[in-house]
Amino acid sequence: MAITSRLKTTKAKLSKQEINKDIIKIAAIQMASGPQVSANLSEAERLIEIAANQGANLVVLPEYFAIMGLKETDKVAVREEVGKGPIQDFLSKIAKKHKIWLIGGSVPLVSNFPNKVRNSCLVYDDKGKQVARYDKIHLFGLDLGNEHYYEEKTIEAGSEVVVVKSPFGKIGLSICYDLRFPELYRAMGEVDIIVIPAAFTDTTGKAHWESLIRARAIENLSYVIAPAQGGYHISGRETHGNSMIVDPWGVMLDRLPRGSGVVMATMNPKYQESLRKSLPALKHRTIKVVSK
């Protein structure tokens, strides 16, 4: 799919809560989710609380944080209508409780097809209000050895590039396989943070995950928050983990190889601004991405 989609910039009504622009703490949550939504939400709540207690202002959950089913169609069975359902209620409640901005890596929402979902990244502000939604554009497909994945069978692709304005700057939203398509991030314009919640397979993760994450940070001079699924799942699937936060110079600030946990770092907007002034690569672009 060529990126000629309309760029959707969400202007959230920012809270009056004071944000210290020199000390913005950002966090990525790593999980090894299973087939039970309630159990996964309990684990997510535990990890979010750890991040919030450490002062996190922005917390990002991995792709499929609420369900990694025994089969791909399990997520269709628990899909939610827009704006209601236990997963969305959970995200709203927890964001409000801890007074954080919370990004639900992906939530299965209704689609135009009864046998498919929209794999949607949802953003909630510190009042618990949903302020942005991004539907995964690029759908993963793999035929490699004993591994076979066909996301198009259970997911309806999105078409809009989404950027949300927050107290921490502009945040560009993406999910997992999107990582391999740099034109998506170019279509976002200049963003301060890129989020890439994922459930990378261990095979492809070992080969490409870190390289691609650091590349997206460097070429966009952006902070990248990449929370991932990490470990063995009841379905037999193994995910790569290695959730990480990378700064605009490509430096890894924190990472977690495997298992449930929290990755934390401090975002420094002044440092990012100085890098963009010293190396204004974003202003040197001569090939433009066309957006409607």
Q: Residue 58 belongs to a domain with what CATH number? A: 3.60.110.10
User: Is 287 inside a domain boundary?
Assistant: no
Give the catalytic positions in this structure.
Answer: 63, 136, 176
Residue 281 DSSP one-character state:
G
DSSP string, 180-194: G-HHHHHHT-S-SEE
For residue 225, the enclosing domain spans 23-279
Please list the pLDDT of the chain residue by residue as tens digits (292 residues): 445 456 788 766 555 445 666 689 999 999 999 999 999 999 999 999 999 999 999 999 999 999 999 999 999 999 999 999 999 999 999 999 999 999 999 999 999 999 999 999 999 999 999 999 999 999 998 788 777 888 999 999 999 999 999 999 999 999 999 999 999 999 999 999 999 999 999 999 999 999 999 999 999 999 999 999 999 999 999 999 999 999 999 999 999 999 999 999 999 999 999 999 999 999 998 887 665 5
Rounded distance between C-alpha atoms, residue 78 and residue 38, angstroms: 11
Classified as helix, coil or strand, 24 is strand
User: Is 141 inside a domain boundary?
Assistant: yes
- Residue 94: which region, alpha, beta or left (left: phi > 0; alpha: psi -120 to 50)? alpha
The answer to whether the beta carbons of residues 61 and 29 sit under 8 Å apart is yes
Q: How many domains does the chain have?
A: 1
User: Is 9 inside a domain boundary?
Assistant: no
User: Is 292 inside a domain boundary?
Assistant: no
User: Is 5 inside a domain boundary?
Assistant: no
Count of alpha carbons within 13 Å of 98, Cβ hemisphere only? Answer: 24
If you count them, how many residues does the chain have?
292
User: Is 267 inside a domain boundary?
Assistant: yes
Rounded distance between C-alpha atoms, residue 289 and residue 292, angstroms: 10
User: Is 133 inside a domain boundary?
Assistant: yes
The answer to whether the beta carbons of residues 181 and 2 sit under 8 Å apart is no
How many helices (H) and strands (E) are present in the chain, helices listed first? 7, 17
50-55 long-range contacts (CB < 8 A, ≥24 apart) are 50/262, 51/27, 51/100, 51/262, 51/264, 52/98, 52/100, 54/25, 54/27, 54/262, 54/264, 55/25
Rounded to two decimals, what is the model's pTM? 0.93
User: Is 66 inside a domain boundary?
Assistant: yes
DSSP string, 150-206: EGGGTB-----EEEEEETTEEEEE--GGGGG-HHHHHHT-S-SEEE--B--BHHHII
